[in-house]
Amino acid sequence: MGNLSGKVSIITGAGSGIGRQTALTFAQNGAKVVVAEVNEANGQETVQQIEDAGGEATFFKVDVSKYDEVEAMVDFAVREYGTLDVLFNNAGVSHVANVLDEDIEDYHKLISVDQHGVFYGIKAGADKMKELGVRGVIVNTASTFAFLAYPSNITYNMAKAAVVQATKTAAADLAPHGIRVVGVAPATINTDILKEYPAEALEAIKVKHMRNDVIEPERVADVVAFLASDAADAINGSVIPVDDGYLSFK
């Protein structure tokens, strides 16, 4: 894992799951972390965990589906810590729906967070990094479902496929400014959402991974921390599967 010492980072969706674990991992590796989260109680809990472990963090409440709030988040980070080195566009929502059953309001909600929210983060983060002359890194959370036509998941699949293309295109656009844009594509991660799955459904998911189990959030956080570090300087425009063989073999 790369060294993040002194780097100022924003992590969206940092109140739980991959976002919380990445915030903890970043802080453990020396980064100053803006915990960006729509759920204030969860976000403040992440900040407390970081501070209890000796790290440095602060909370910012944000709805990533609103561009003015994303801009305000970026401005806050710079006011608080003086610069912006890393922005992890991780916040996301999901729901299961067949195309014939998809509710239009649910469709728009998911797209506004998972697709528009990532674009807003890229745009606001890149504008600020360019203004400051920072050779920063923007990391986006995609999904294995960006590459697989998983049934009854049409809106989520669409949004995450858009994240992959946004990552690649933004990397090309921002390379002249020294800003890298990369992504991660997790498979099934052991977060609270799995508690809603029936036991049979969860077992069916587990066997799609090479080790026949879901992946812990720490494994995704480790990859994000590496991608955000100078050690990954030669990786740009790539979306890295964190999938335990899901895409390749199962």
Q: Which residues, other chains included, contact 101 with Cβ-Cβ below 8 Å and sequence gap of 6+?
A: none
Predicted pLDDT at 130: 98
CATH code for residues 8-249:
3.40.50.720
Active-site hit among 81, 120, 156, 246: 156
Q: Which residues, other chains included, contact 226 with Cβ-Cβ below 8 Å and sequence gap of 6+?
A: 1, 2, 232
Predicted pLDDT at 42: 98
Beta bridge partners of 189: 215
Q: Which of 229, 210, 232, 235 is nearest to 144 (CA)?
A: 210
Average pLDDT in the 189-212 region?
Answer: 85
Judge contact between 136 and 129, C-beta under 8 A.
Answer: yes
Q: Is 81 a catalytic residue?
A: no
Identify the helix (H) or strand (E) that includes residue 80.
Answer: helix 67-81
Average pLDDT in the 182-193 region?
Answer: 93
Q: Report the mean per-residue pLDDT for the chain.
A: 95
Instruction: With cut-offs at 50, 70 and 90, classify the pLDDT of residue 193.
Output: confident
Instruction: With cut-offs at 50, 70 and 90, classify the pLDDT of residue 250.
Output: low
Beta bridge partners of 60: 36
Give the whole-number percent of the chain exceeding pLDDT 70: 99
Instruction: With cut-offs at 50, 70 and 90, classify the pLDDT of residue 115.
Output: very high
For the cut 90, the answer to whether the pLDDT of residue 110 exceeds it is yes
